Amino acid sequence: MIKKFIIYLILFVSISLSGQITLGDELITKDGSRLNGKVVNEEDGILKFETTYAGTVHIKWDQISELRTQIPVKILLKNEKTVMTQFVKNQDEIMIVEVEPSKPPIIYNHKELAFINPAAWQLGESMQISGAVNLALKSQRGNTDKDELDIDGNLLFRRKNDRLTLRGHIEKDKNRGETTADAWDASAKYDYFLSKKWFIGGSTRVEQDQFQDLKLRVSAGPFVGYQFFETKKMNLNSSIGPSRTLEDFREADDNDYWSLSWSNDFDVYVFGEYIQFYHRHSGLWNFEDIDDVVFDGWTGFRVPLLLGLVASTEIRTEYDNAPADDVDRLDTTYRVKLGYQW
């Protein structure tokens, strides 16, 4: 009796496990390959499909022939309409979407597809919060007595129709007990999207640099901007507008003027998701003195590690075409940093 029970138990477990292995979403590519697993999402023409035998694979959407899911997936179209489906068939430039088995399918052009399984913030249902903190620390003793500390970070709050970006940076260096760098800056930028690409908003920036004779510079103003790309693989946005700028110097004469303010923010993964190139900069051009231009740029490579840790190497370029006396126009800093992002 016990022996039969054990045999039946083994058969039941085996059947259950085999059912769990074979059950799941099914994907058929145009070359006839068949994958079983789970749909994660589709973004920027790439479908993420999770399998138990090959991890998460990335497949171009136009290379998929059929997609069948056990649980309905949500399709977000570029006109902001959503459709729930368990079956999609691609044919040339169209996709045939089965909404209900008892109803005729709906036909859409591939260009109408925005996302499959979009994030909640993309549907206007919540807010996405992301950010990073980076640290570059160097301490040297012996023939050279030097300490260097650089901390920078950012916070991004993204909703469907607006975005708030906060940034900050602190630099403090000492050589043989004497301070050689003492600077900090902080900025806030709010974007409100009028459409998928165009946005308006306002920004403010505060900075101080002891060794550029800058006690305090404050600038603020409105702008208009354009979002060229916004995906996990690549992001690019630019903005421009008037700005009121106040400069308080330790030795030089203080300044107060209207300026043209601009900013660019770009990042892209260049080798899959292993290395990310980034560049961002902001600038001010004095309307009252066209020779007075201020520029601040960050350029580097970022390498994601484990558990949110990230290593990066970068160049920071600070340029002031009309600096105070005995201050160089160009200041370049090279850094290797370790940080955490979420």
Return the sign of the alpha-carbon dihedral for residues 199, 200, 202, 203: positive
Return the sign of the alpha-carbon dihedral for residues 209, 212, 215, 221: negative
- Average pLDDT value for residue range 314-330: 82
Q: Which residues pair with 198 in a beta bridge?
A: 226
Task: With respect to residue 17, please indicate whether it lies within any of the assigned structural domains.
Answer: no
**Is residue 327 domain-shared with residue 284, that is, in the same domain?**
yes
Q: Which residues pair with 214 in a beta bridge?
A: 209, 249
Picking from 20-24, 112-116, 181-185, 280-284, which range would have the lowest pLDDT averaged per residue? 20-24
Percent of the chain with pLDDT over 70: 90
**Is residue 107 domain-shared with residue 138, that is, in the same domain?**
no
Per-residue pLDDT tens over the stretch 248-276:
988 888 889 999 999 999 999 998 778 99
**Is residue 95 domain-shared with residue 134, that is, in the same domain?**
no
Nearest 5°: the CA angle 274, 276, 278 is: 175
Task: With respect to residue 68, please indicate whether it lies within any of the assigned structural domains.
Answer: yes
CA–CA dist 137, 146 (Å, integer): 11
Q: Are strands 293-304 and 276-286 parallel, antiparallel or unpaired?
A: antiparallel
Task: With respect to residue 1, please indicate whether it lies within any of the assigned structural domains.
Answer: no
Residue 92, both tokens: 């040339």
Prediction pTM value: 0.81
**Backbone Cα Rg of the chain:** 27
Domain boundary among 61, 93, 118: 118
CA–CA dist 336, 314 (Å, integer): 7
Residue count of the chain, please give it.
342
Picking from 89-93, 102-106, 134-138, 293-297, which range would have the lowest pLDDT averaged per residue? 134-138
Picking from 136-145, 194-203, 304-313, 323-332, which range would have the lowest pLDDT averaged per residue? 136-145
Domain boundary among 95, 118, 141: 118
Residue 262, both tokens: 């601009």
**Is residue 331 domain-shared with residue 197, that is, in the same domain?**
yes
Task: With respect to residue 336, please indicate whether it lies within any of the assigned structural domains.
Answer: yes
Residue 122 gets which letter from DSSP? G
- Average pLDDT value for residue range 214-232: 94
Domain boundary among 89, 118, 147: 118
**Is residue 179 domain-shared with residue 288, that is, in the same domain?**
yes
Percent of the chain with pLDDT over 90: 63
**Is residue 174 domain-shared with residue 281, that is, in the same domain?**
yes
31 by DSSP, 3-state: which? coil
Task: With respect to residue 9, please indicate whether it lies within any of the assigned structural domains.
Answer: no
**Is residue 134 domain-shared with residue 114, that is, in the same domain?**
no
**Is residue 156 domain-shared with residue 67, that is, in the same domain?**
no
Residue 69: predicted pLDDT? 94
**Is residue 63 domain-shared with residue 142, that is, in the same domain?**
no
- Average pLDDT value for residue range 142-166: 87
Task: With respect to residue 123, please indicate whether it lies within any of the assigned structural domains.
Answer: no
**Is residue 278 domain-shared with residue 160, that is, in the same domain?**
yes
CA–CA dist 12, 56 (Å, integer): 30
Quote the number of domains for the chain. 2
**Is residue 95 domain-shared with residue 229, that is, in the same domain?**
no
The CATH number linked to 320 is 2.40.160.40
**Is residue 168 domain-shared with residue 37, that is, in the same domain?**
no
Domain residues for the domain of 97 are 24-118
pLDDT class for 140, splitting at 50, 70, 90?
Answer: low
126 by DSSP, 3-state: which? coil
Per-position DSSP letters for 247-274, written without gaps between them = EEESSSPPEEEEEEEEEEEEEEESSTTS
